[in-house]
Amino acid sequence: MASRAKRALAPARPLLLQRGRPSHGQPREAGAALTVGGYATEMQLSDSERASGRLAPSTVHAAVEHVRNNGFVLFERVLPRDLVADMQSSFARLIDTHPSSTEANRGANRFQMHLPFEPPFNDERLIASPFVLPIVDALIGADCICHYLASDTPLPGSDYQEVHPDIFPSC
Protein backbone atom coordinates (compact mmCIF):
# COMPACT_ATOMS: atom_id res chain seq x y z
CA MET A 1 0.00 0.00 0.00
CA ALA A 2 2.90 2.41 0.63
CA SER A 3 3.58 2.63 -3.11
CA ARG A 4 0.09 4.07 -3.56
CA ALA A 5 0.69 6.79 -0.95
CA LYS A 6 1.92 9.27 -3.54
CA ARG A 7 -1.47 9.30 -5.24
CA ALA A 8 -3.72 9.50 -2.24
CA LEU A 9 -5.85 12.20 -0.69
CA ALA A 10 -5.45 13.85 2.67
CA PRO A 11 -8.94 13.94 4.10
CA ALA A 12 -9.73 15.73 7.33
CA ARG A 13 -12.03 14.68 10.17
CA PRO A 14 -13.96 12.50 9.58
CA LEU A 15 -12.88 10.66 6.43
CA LEU A 16 -14.21 12.90 3.71
CA LEU A 17 -13.72 12.76 -0.03
CA GLN A 18 -14.64 16.22 -1.17
CA ARG A 19 -14.98 18.24 -4.39
CA GLY A 20 -16.65 21.27 -2.84
CA ARG A 21 -18.06 22.18 0.56
CA PRO A 22 -21.80 22.87 0.79
CA SER A 23 -21.67 24.28 4.29
CA HIS A 24 -20.08 27.45 5.63
CA GLY A 25 -17.53 25.42 7.54
CA GLN A 26 -19.61 25.35 10.69
CA PRO A 27 -19.21 22.23 12.84
CA ARG A 28 -22.11 19.83 13.21
CA GLU A 29 -23.46 18.81 16.58
CA ALA A 30 -22.34 15.35 17.64
CA GLY A 31 -24.59 12.73 16.10
CA ALA A 32 -26.26 15.19 13.72
CA ALA A 33 -26.62 13.88 10.17
CA LEU A 34 -24.92 15.83 7.40
CA THR A 35 -27.40 16.64 4.65
CA VAL A 36 -27.33 18.38 1.31
CA GLY A 37 -30.67 19.46 -0.10
CA GLY A 38 -32.42 17.42 2.58
CA TYR A 39 -30.66 14.17 1.61
CA ALA A 40 -28.30 12.34 3.96
CA THR A 41 -24.73 12.27 2.68
CA GLU A 42 -23.14 9.92 5.20
CA MET A 43 -22.48 6.29 4.40
CA GLN A 44 -22.00 3.55 6.96
CA LEU A 45 -19.42 0.84 6.41
CA SER A 46 -20.45 -2.73 7.14
CA ASP A 47 -18.72 -4.72 9.85
CA SER A 48 -17.15 -6.91 7.16
CA GLU A 49 -15.82 -3.84 5.29
CA ARG A 50 -14.29 -2.48 8.49
CA ALA A 51 -12.75 -5.86 9.35
CA SER A 52 -11.33 -6.47 5.88
CA GLY A 53 -10.29 -2.85 5.24
CA ARG A 54 -11.97 -3.07 1.82
CA LEU A 55 -15.13 -1.59 0.39
CA ALA A 56 -17.69 -3.88 -1.20
CA PRO A 57 -18.28 -3.14 -4.91
CA SER A 58 -21.79 -1.90 -4.08
CA THR A 59 -20.34 0.54 -1.52
CA VAL A 60 -17.80 1.85 -4.04
CA HIS A 61 -20.63 2.39 -6.53
CA ALA A 62 -22.82 4.16 -3.95
CA ALA A 63 -19.89 6.31 -2.78
CA VAL A 64 -19.08 7.35 -6.35
CA GLU A 65 -22.71 8.35 -6.82
CA HIS A 66 -22.56 10.39 -3.59
CA VAL A 67 -19.52 12.27 -4.92
CA ARG A 68 -21.15 12.85 -8.31
CA ASN A 69 -24.43 14.03 -6.74
CA ASN A 70 -23.21 15.91 -3.66
CA GLY A 71 -19.57 16.70 -4.36
CA PHE A 72 -18.34 14.47 -1.52
CA VAL A 73 -18.95 11.32 0.48
CA LEU A 74 -18.56 10.93 4.22
CA PHE A 75 -17.71 7.77 6.16
CA GLU A 76 -18.13 8.29 9.90
CA ARG A 77 -16.00 6.58 12.56
CA VAL A 78 -13.38 5.22 10.16
CA LEU A 79 -10.30 6.91 11.59
CA PRO A 80 -9.05 6.14 15.10
CA ARG A 81 -10.02 8.80 17.64
CA ASP A 82 -6.39 9.38 18.65
CA LEU A 83 -5.41 10.14 15.05
CA VAL A 84 -8.36 12.53 14.66
CA ALA A 85 -7.45 14.27 17.93
CA ASP A 86 -3.81 14.57 16.84
CA MET A 87 -4.87 16.03 13.47
CA GLN A 88 -7.24 18.49 15.17
CA SER A 89 -4.61 19.76 17.59
CA SER A 90 -1.91 19.95 14.90
CA PHE A 91 -4.24 21.82 12.55
CA ALA A 92 -5.35 24.17 15.35
CA ARG A 93 -1.71 25.13 15.97
CA LEU A 94 -1.23 25.84 12.26
CA ILE A 95 -4.42 27.85 11.76
CA ASP A 96 -3.82 29.83 14.98
CA THR A 97 -0.59 31.25 13.55
CA HIS A 98 -1.36 31.31 9.81
CA PRO A 99 -3.65 34.40 9.69
CA SER A 100 -1.02 36.50 11.46
CA SER A 101 1.63 35.58 8.91
CA THR A 102 -0.37 36.05 5.70
CA GLU A 103 -3.39 37.88 4.35
CA ALA A 104 -6.65 36.12 3.58
CA ASN A 105 -6.19 34.61 0.12
CA ARG A 106 -9.60 33.10 -0.67
CA GLY A 107 -11.90 35.98 0.20
CA ALA A 108 -12.61 37.81 3.42
CA ASN A 109 -11.20 35.88 6.39
CA ARG A 110 -10.79 32.66 4.36
CA PHE A 111 -7.35 31.08 4.22
CA GLN A 112 -5.94 28.52 1.86
CA MET A 113 -2.77 27.07 3.29
CA HIS A 114 -0.55 24.18 2.35
CA LEU A 115 -0.24 21.59 5.08
CA PRO A 116 3.14 20.09 5.94
CA PHE A 117 3.68 16.60 4.60
CA GLU A 118 4.58 15.29 8.04
CA PRO A 119 2.79 13.56 10.92
CA PRO A 120 -0.08 13.47 11.48
CA PHE A 121 -1.11 14.73 8.03
CA ASN A 122 0.92 12.14 6.11
CA ASP A 123 -0.36 9.16 8.07
CA GLU A 124 -0.86 6.26 5.66
CA ARG A 125 -4.39 5.71 7.00
CA LEU A 126 -5.19 9.08 5.43
CA ILE A 127 -3.10 9.33 2.29
CA ALA A 128 -3.46 5.69 1.21
CA SER A 129 -6.82 4.85 2.71
CA PRO A 130 -8.25 1.60 1.36
CA PHE A 131 -11.65 3.22 1.76
CA VAL A 132 -10.79 6.30 -0.34
CA LEU A 133 -8.56 4.97 -3.10
CA PRO A 134 -11.17 2.73 -4.79
CA ILE A 135 -13.50 5.74 -5.02
CA VAL A 136 -10.74 7.93 -6.46
CA ASP A 137 -9.85 5.16 -8.92
CA ALA A 138 -13.48 4.95 -10.06
CA LEU A 139 -13.86 8.72 -10.42
CA ILE A 140 -10.50 9.80 -11.81
CA GLY A 141 -8.67 6.62 -12.79
CA ALA A 142 -6.16 4.28 -11.22
CA ASP A 143 -3.27 6.23 -12.73
CA CYS A 144 -4.14 9.52 -11.00
CA ILE A 145 -1.64 11.29 -8.77
CA CYS A 146 -3.11 13.42 -5.99
CA HIS A 147 -0.32 15.64 -4.75
CA TYR A 148 -2.09 18.59 -3.20
CA LEU A 149 -2.17 18.74 0.60
CA ALA A 150 -3.91 21.92 1.68
CA SER A 151 -6.76 23.43 3.61
CA ASP A 152 -9.23 26.12 2.58
CA THR A 153 -10.41 27.30 5.98
CA PRO A 154 -13.22 29.82 6.57
CA LEU A 155 -12.86 31.71 9.84
CA PRO A 156 -15.64 33.74 11.50
CA GLY A 157 -16.63 36.60 9.21
CA SER A 158 -15.54 34.83 6.04
CA ASP A 159 -17.36 35.06 2.74
CA TYR A 160 -19.57 32.15 1.75
CA GLN A 161 -18.00 29.94 -0.89
CA GLU A 162 -20.37 28.22 -3.30
CA VAL A 163 -19.99 24.50 -3.91
CA HIS A 164 -17.57 24.08 -6.80
CA PRO A 165 -15.20 21.52 -8.25
CA ASP A 166 -11.50 22.17 -8.03
CA ILE A 167 -10.97 19.73 -10.86
CA PHE A 168 -13.14 18.54 -13.69
CA PRO A 169 -12.69 14.75 -14.01
CA SER A 170 -13.72 13.15 -17.25
CA CYS A 171 -16.12 10.67 -15.68
| Between 107 and 79, residue with greater pLDDT | 79
32 falls within a domain? yes
82 falls within a domain? yes
Round to whole Å and give the CA distance between 113 and 89.
16
159 falls within a domain? no
- Residue 170 predicted with pLDDT over 80: no
Average pLDDT for residues 21-36, to the nearest whole number? 46
pLDDT at res. 39: 55
168 falls within a domain? no
pLDDT at res. 167: 66
pTM of the complete model beyond 0.85: no
53 falls within a domain? yes
| Between 39 and 64, residue with greater pLDDT | 64
Provide the domain limits for residue 63.
2-154
pLDDT at res. 122: 93
DSSP strand E in 91-167: where?
110-114, 150-154
| Between 147 and 27, residue with greater pLDDT | 147
Average pLDDT for residues 147-159, to the nearest whole number? 86
169 falls within a domain? no
167 falls within a domain? no
| Between 145 and 164, residue with greater pLDDT | 145
Round to whole Å and give the CA distance between 161 and 106.
9
- pLDDT bin (cut points 50, 70, 90) of residue 153 is confident
- pLDDT bin (cut points 50, 70, 90) of residue 152 is confident
What share of the chain in percent tops pLDDT 70?
71
pLDDT at res. 38: 54
CA distances 148 to 34, 79, 113, 121, Å, are 25, 21, 11, 12
Average pLDDT for residues 101-113, to the nearest whole number? 84
Half-sphere exposure of 53 (CA within 13 A, CB side): 7
Which residues are CB-contacts of 98 (< 8 A; sequence separation ≥ 6)? Answer: 111, 113
Number of domains present in the structure of the chain? 1
